[in-house]
């Protein structure tokens, strides 16, 4: 289950953007909803940034855990039949 990295019920806020004029013209010709498209992409970027931040913050714990697993194995090793 993915959790939204933002409050989807928060009110919309206008923003001024600068976009390549040719790209904007083409997007409009294909009826691309710029607000929706930007919001979807921002969700992806924020989610990935949070993921990278979590990995950086927890890297030492992950390395330590993996090291313990390499030396001791996992508790279920003796229970597996394969």
In this structure, is residue 31 part of a structural domain? Answer: no
What is the tally of structural domains in the chain? 1
> 58 lies in which domain range?
45-72
Q: How far is C-alpha 74 from the geometric centre of its chain's CA atoms?
A: 29
Q: Which residues contact 32 (CB under 8 A, 6 or more apart)?
A: none
Task: Report residue 2's pLDDT band, with 50, 70 and 90 as the boundaries.
Answer: low
In this structure, is residue 81 part of a structural domain? Answer: no
In this structure, is residue 34 part of a structural domain? Answer: no
In this structure, is residue 21 part of a structural domain? Answer: no
In this structure, is residue 28 part of a structural domain? Answer: no
In this structure, is residue 51 part of a structural domain? Answer: yes
Q: What's the pTM?
A: 0.71
- 43 contacts 6 by C-beta, under 8 angstroms: yes
In this structure, is residue 38 part of a structural domain? Answer: no
In this structure, is residue 60 part of a structural domain? Answer: yes
Q: Which residues contact 13 (CB under 8 A, 6 or more apart)?
A: none
pLDDT digits (tens, 9 = 90+) for 42-81: 999 999 999 999 999 999 999 999 999 888 887 776 676 6
pLDDT digits (tens, 9 = 90+) for 26-36: 999 999 999 99
């Amino acid at each position: 289950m993915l959790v939204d990295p933002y409050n989807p019920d928060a009110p919309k806020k206008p923003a001024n953007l600068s976009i390549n004029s040719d790209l904007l013209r083409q997007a409009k010709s294909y009826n691309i909803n710029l607000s929706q498209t930007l919001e979807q992409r921002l969700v992806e970027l924020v989610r990935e940034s949070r993921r990278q931040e979590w990995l950086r913050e927890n890297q030492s714990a992950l390395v330590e855990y993996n090291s313990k697993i390499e030396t001791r194995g996992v508790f279920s090793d003796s229970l597996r039949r394969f």
